[in-house]
Structure formats: structure tokens, C-alpha cells
Amino acid sequence: MPLTVKKLTSAVVNSTIDVKIPGQSEPEKVRIGYRPGILTSQLEEELREYGDRSEGWADLVSRLVVSWDLELEEGVPLPVEKDSLREVPGWLLQSIIVGIREDMVPSRKTAETSGGSFSPAD
């Protein structure tokens, strides 16, 4: 069966990412399900139009993230919806995006142990 763009854009990756919190030396862990296939050049172009406004980060997170264990307050899940995410600090949304992007790129350790052809530059 051939690989299709539809399959790539609907695939979900479940992972745990580090979220860096200002004033904390150690990052927090967030379990997350995201769709890496939606990060297209068209979406990135749309996001550039937002500039540095947090609205763009909320839009990206709402499109990219399918599920997470992030809570609005203890015991109350934070919905992954653009309107809900507008209440979240922009730095937190940016940290989530950075964590996802880092998760998407193979590290030296995973490249060496996976048997893949990725060879990071020294």
C-alpha cells in the first residue's frame, strides 16, 4: 500500500515532552498526543502572519495537539481548543511547540541506536 499524505497528516504520535517553566531549573513533563504531519509549509506560512502574537501559538497548538495531560487547575483538563488556549500564557504555548519540535527530530542517541540513516552533524 503506498504512503499517502492523508495517512501522514492523520497519524498521531504519543510522547512525553519537556516544558520549560520560567524560574524553574528543571522542566515539567507533559504527556502529549500530536499530529506531526500537519506541520506543512502552508501552515507555517499562515503562522508567520501572526508574528509574535500568542494567538498564532494558540492556533498552532489547537491544530497540532490531539491530547495531553495538561490541566487548567488540579483535576480539570485543559481543552485543546483555540478559544481555551487563548487563556494560556504565550510562553507556555511556545514551550509546548518547542518540546514537540524537539521530539520530532531524532537526537544523536536515538539516531545511533535506531539503525536509521540519520547522521547528525558534529
Instruction: Give the domain extent around 62.
Output: 5-100
Q: How many domains does the chain have?
A: 1
Q: Identify whether 38 is part of a domain.
A: yes
The pLDDT of residue 8 is 80
Which CA distances in Å does 48 have to 5, 53, 60?
23, 10, 11
Q: Identify whether 44 is part of a domain.
A: yes
| Count of C-beta atoms within a 10 Å radius of residue 97 | 19
Q: Identify whether 45 is part of a domain.
A: yes
Q: Identify whether 53 is part of a domain.
A: yes
What distance in Å separates the CA atoms of residue 59 and residue 63, rounded to the nearest whole number?
6
**3-state secondary structure at position 37:** helix
One pLDDT digit (tens) per residue for the chain, 122 residues: 888 888 888 889 999 999 888 999 999 999 999 998 888 888 778 777 877 777 788 888 999 999 999 998 899 999 999 999 988 898 899 889 889 888 888 765 544 444 443 334 43
Angle among Cα 55, 33, 88 to the nearest 5 degrees reads 30
pTM: 0.75
